[in-house]
Structure 1
Amino acid sequence: MFVEKVNEKIILIGTSHISEESVNLVKNTIIKENPDCVGVELCEQRFNALKNKKSWENMSIPKVIKEGKSYLLLTNIILSNYQKKLGNEFGIAPGSEMLKAIELGETLDKEIVLVDRDIQTTFKRSLDYMSIKEKFKFIFYIFSGFFEEIDEETIKNLKNKDMLNEVLNELSEEIPNIKKALIDERDEYIALKILEKYREGKKIVAVIGAGHLKGVKNIIEENLIKETFAHRKTELEKIPQKRSKAKIIAYIIPILFVSLVIYGFYSKGLNFTLNILIAWTLINGTLSALGVVFALGHPFSVLTAFAAAPITSLNPALAAGWFAGLTEAKMRMPKVKDFEDLSKLNRLRDYWKNNITRILLVVAFANVGSVIGTFVALPYLLSLF
């Protein structure tokens, strides 16, 4: 944990997020510096979740699925539980230093400034930057946390700034494009939010993760003398609309499939065309259904995936997982206990037992199965000619 004083009006506190020392450092620094504003490395969504421990109970699973936020929610739950697992080893709840900063700031009647970018924007920009291969690597890294033993040496090292940077650097080496959205852009965004208050003539103490401290400090120092930077913050809040390779492929697939059907009909007749349609349906539908089976979904969810996949694979705006997930949510409506247990998912199999996370797994695996089915079916159909 470190305190960096950029100047008399900008003080940065770098914390480990899971350390009692961080909480004390935050408290003592805010009292000592008596700022006009207290900044915390949170966006509005994470701020509300931290302040309202029962915010899960107000969540609409069907709405999450329809808005395409299933992967974001599942990732959030996994990472939150992993951080909670580390926090238990330290005997302190994750985010305690942020909560202390907020509570103390409100008690002292200070302005609370949420300096981090919206988590959904960060997540979507990260996905946009990553290749398909990097996305699979990211999934592997997330789930590998369930099998990682937390020994005393790991706990000791996690208190050090160098260890946090080392973890971020290691992830960046394996997945280079993820660093841009998760680290570099957020460093810049946090710095610009802090500078906004500085431009207003206010003194601010900002509580941020130790891994962001160096980058944020450097960006602040580089921009102190600049007069205009608001446009850059707006750019960082946008979700890129560029067409990725995956999106281009998603539009090529239906064109290719329809072309095969038309060509098959005119060159080989009706029976051949029917065989193409049957093969497409069986391969795509079966693999998507198997994905739901792997997620331990309800039999009706399995049937829904089987029926939806052959159709949704031809429409870039739809996904088999959405329909399978909505069916799962209807057949196995989450109970209050499922929401309460979201913060207690310590083992991998717990995600298959909880009705909420199982719905999200149904969405994910149905989609994965459908994608695999598409890339298995198309070469097979081509081989028939």
Structure 2
Amino acid sequence: MSYLRYVKLIGTMHVSPKSREEVIMTILSEKPHAVAIELDRTRFLAMSQNRNVSLEDALRYGKRGLINYVLAKVEEKLGEEFGMKPGEEMKAAISAAQTFGVPLYLIDEDINVTLAKIAAAPSREKLLMALESLSIFLPLNLGEISDPMADYRVMMLQFKRRYPYLYRVLVEERNEIMARNLISIVDSLRIQGVKKPKVIAVVGLGHKPGIEHILDRERVESFYLQ
């Protein structure tokens, strides 16, 4: 029996209102034993306290701070276009878990580790990323967007082709970390006596297929099977 039997992943686009609605409705209908979200402790606290880092603050942290600032601005700009602040679907998952008294788990890699990996990217990828990130300070014209989710997989394929190193550290390695954390959650619930654990995991759409593949290939130990 694979771990995918016990975990339902919601693949979201972090700036899509439809994702927020899907998260709320799924948690309401599934009534899971646990909710897991694509955040680490640092980002969770920043989101909970509505902390916004200024460019001046980012520069004080050097290269890692600047990278984090640029990535945040990219999502913020997209959020203006799609009508939702980045992370609203994560906030919805947190709120729903608290409302129903469901344990909440943070399953992503420590942001400081991720930023260190980004800073170690090949010069070509860093230069290309820097040039493309300049567009966040210019008016963003995406045309008429009927469903931003529809083009997201194409965007991920393009990103993988243009940034193979960054794709590996931002997507593939984090897929492995989040999948392992979900496996630990399922194991913990079964040890506690929950025969058929139900875990809802809210992750970015680009992570969903990879995490599902890992969970599907891993088999639950016979000790846990009833």
Is it true that 1:101 corresponds to 2:87 in the alignment?
no
Show the counterpart of 1:219: 214
The size of the alignment, in residue pairs, is: 212
Deviation string, structure 1 residues 33-92 (Cα, Å, up to 9, x no partner): 1111111111111111111114659xx959x74xxx322222222222221222122222
Instruction: Name structure 2 gaps, 5 residues minimum.
Output: 191-196
Shift of 1:177: 1.3
Displacement of 1:133: 2.3
Asked if 1:118 corresponds to 2:110, the answer is yes
Q: 1:88 to 1:11 in 2, by over 3 A?
A: same
Change (3 A) 1:55 1:145: closer
The alpha-carbon distance between structure 1 residues 38 and 89, as it changes in their structure 2 partners (threshold 3 A), is same
How far apart are residue 148 of structure 1 and its match?
6.5
Deviation string 1:246-294 (CA, Å, 9 cap, x unpaired) is xxxxxxxxxxxxxxxxxxxxxxxxxxxxxxxxxxxxxxxxxxxxxxxxx
Describe how 1:1-385 pairs up with structure 2 within 5 A: 6-7=4-5, 9-54=6-51, 56=53, 61=57, 65=60, 69-128=61-120, 130-147=121-138, 149-153=140-144, 155-160=145-150, 163-200=151-188, 201=190, 202-225=197-220
* Distance in 1 (alpha carbons) for counterparts of 2:45 and 2:130: 26
Letter paired with 2:68: N
Q: Deviations over 1:2-48 (max 9, x none)?
A: xxx931x2111111111221111111111111111111111111111
Name the larger-Rg structure: 1
Tell me the TM-score normalized by structure 1: 0.51
Letter in 2 for 1:193: N
Gaps of 5+ in 1: 228-385
1:194 and 1:22 map into 2 onto residues whose CA distance is 21
TM-score scaled to structure 2, two decimals?
0.84
Aligned counterparts of 1:157 and 1:203: Cα–Cα separation in 2: 29
- Give the CA deviation at 1:226: 6.5
8 Å CA contact 1:43, 1:115 repeated in 2: yes
Distance 1:55 1:90 in 2: 20
CA contact (8 A) 2:178 2:211 kept: yes
Q: Matches of 1:119 and 1:220 in 2, distance apart?
A: 23
Report deviation, 1:157: 5.0
Q: For the structure 1 residues 144 and 171, does the alpha-carbon distance in structure 2 shift closer, same or farther, using more than 3 Å as the test?
A: farther
C-alpha distance 145-172 of structure 1, shift in aligned 2 (>3 A): farther
Q: Which has the higher helix share?
A: 1
Instruction: Tell me if the contact between 1:45 and 1:119 (Cα under 8 Å) persists in the aligned partners.
Output: yes
| Cα 1:132/1:89, change in 2 over 3 Å | closer
Letter aligned with residue 218 of structure 1: H
Aligned-partner Cα distance in 2 for 1:101–1:119: 20
- Percent of aligned positions with the same letter in both sequences? 28
Q: Is the 8 A contact 2:97 2:104 kept in 1?
A: yes
Counterpart of 1:156 in 2: which secondary structure? Answer: coil
